[in-house]
Amino acid sequence: MTNRLEQALGHRYSDQSLLLTALTHRSHSWPHNERLEFLGDSILNGVIARQLFDCFPDLPEGDLSRLRANLVRQESLHQLALSLSLGEFLRLGDGELKSGGRQRPSILADALEALFGAIWLDAGFDAASAVIVRLYAEKLATIVPGQPIKDAKTRLQEALQGRRLPLPKYSLASTEGEAHAQQFSISCQIDALNIRTQGSGGSRRAAEQMAAERALEDIQHA
Amino acid sequence: MTNRLEQALGHRYSDQSLLLTALTHRSHSWPHNERLEFLGDSILNGVIARQLFDCFPDLPEGDLSRLRANLVRQESLHQLALSLSLGEFLRLGDGELKSGGRQRPSILADALEALFGAIWLDAGFDAASAVIVRLYAEKLATIVPGQPIKDAKTRLQEALQGRRLPLPKYSLASTEGEAHAQQFSISCQIDALNIRTQGSGGSRRAAEQMAAERALEDIQHA
């Protein structure tokens, strides 16, 4: 039954128990996929880093980092998981099943990472790399270097709008240092979610982005 | 002259220009090592993840993550860089040279990551993995699973004590949710550095750790 998934992934697991574990949520049974997810997350980061490095020889490190963050975040993994119909193959506990676990973005994204980690164990780094590169080919092909990537403030705004919540409030918490080397602290406040984060940086904009990034983390962990 | 460094690393670069770039700080000239550092950071994370996964089959994902964070952070890389006498080989601009750049932990740690990335390009993943595993052998061997790893609060305390600064102040910013599923927000304040961060979590302890982690980041970026 998992044949279809292996076909979609483009990898046949020699050790089928690895595949089974990668599909097993912690609510179902042990061994579950959390350790494999840890491994898969790390190889995904490495493979995407290398792809971006090779494809965009002129981009500075900061842009590569932002592009990668964009490609490996939950939302992107969730889209790929949907394209593989991964939800059908998940092994979930009853509670998770009833509450719609098969559709939950975090569960799907984690399981996809676990599948990558399982390929690394099953057939080596290059095999896992090939699968990741194939899955990401379309996303990688549509990257236009220089095109602005959605920054944290934009993504936070979209995340709140998606929940029909008001926009976050940014305010200056403090400034420090002499005029030519000031450090700004900005706080980002989302009253509806009782979230308040703070970011710092050499400009208001940089500080706001850090605060927004942290607010996004808080929303994801909430 | 870089022969000694290659010997210490255990890798002879076929493409010596990669080695040169890895040793070049942005204050010196272009191409500098920031793109290679991005690549090296990612392979370092992957290789250490795999080592921990293989060495500690019983550790849950959270412990693996904490162990890895401990191994790949600047302090650990700095120690390894010192063991390679990496500082002697760095190419720094005049300003950095005069202000002690050869000894700066962040410059040394970044250059070591760049050297890893350069090996990946020069000779493939397995070659880079072998170098990393060899360098980290001692650190990996001394890990006793189950032994508590220094948590963020402890590390923050040590960082402040090292600077002879007072301890941070933690205070409850807010609680949210019903009694059985409360979310705590804790703020961490370091007056001497004008740093104030916030963390959230399902327990006061978890929220404090997140706030401490962010304060550590702020200190590093400051």
Domains of chain B (ranges; CATH) run 3-141 (1.10.1520.10), 152-221 (3.30.160.20)
Using pLDDT thresholds of 50, 70 and 90, give the confidence band for residue A146. low
Structure tokens at B70: 């401990």
Beta carbons of B42 and A64 less than 8 Å apart: no
Q: What is the pLDDT at residue A64?
A: 94
Active-site amino acid positions of A: 41, 113
Mean pLDDT, range B163-170, rounded to an integer: 92
Whether the per-residue pLDDT at A217 is higher than 90: the answer is: no
Q: Does A65 touch chain B (CB under 8 A)?
A: yes
Q: Are B60 and B75 in contact (CB under 8 A)?
A: no
Place of tokens 């961060």: B197
Substitution target from A133, A198, A216 for chain B, most B beta carbons within 10 A = A198
Neighbours of B175 (CB within 10 A): 15
Q: What is the pLDDT of residues B80-135, one digit of tens each?
A: 999 999 999 999 999 999 999 999 999 999 999 999 999 999 999 999 999 999 99
Q: Where are the alpha helices (DSSP H) in B142-184?
A: 152-162
Substitution target from A24, A41, A47, A61 for chain B, most B beta carbons within 10 A = A61
Whether the per-residue pLDDT at B178 is higher than 80: the answer is: no
The residue among A202 and B192 whose pLDDT is bigger is: B192
Q: What is the pLDDT at residue B146?
A: 63
Q: Are A194 and B174 in contact (CB under 8 A)?
A: yes
Whether the per-residue pLDDT at A209 is higher than 80: the answer is: yes
Per the prediction, chain A carries an average pLDDT of 92
Whether the per-residue pLDDT at A142 is higher than 90: the answer is: no
Q: Of the ranges A187-201, B25-39, B57-71, B172-186, which one carries the lowest mean pLDDT score?
A: B172-186
* DSSP state at residue A74: H
Neighbours of A21 (CB within 10 A): 23
What is d(CA B139, CA B191) in angstroms, rounded to the nearest whole number?
A: 35
What is d(CA A125, CA A37) in angstroms, rounded to the nearest whole number?
A: 15
Q: What is the pLDDT at residue B142?
A: 85
Nearest-by-CA chain A residue for B173: A196
Residue A138, annotated as binding a ligand:
no
Share of chain B above pLDDT 90, in %: 72
Share of chain A above pLDDT 90, in %: 72
How many residues does the structure list for chain A?
222
Q: What is the pLDDT at residue A175?
A: 86
Q: Does B63 touch chain A (CB under 8 A)?
A: no
Per the prediction, chain B carries an average pLDDT of 92
Cβ-based contacts of B37 with chain A (< 8 Å): 61
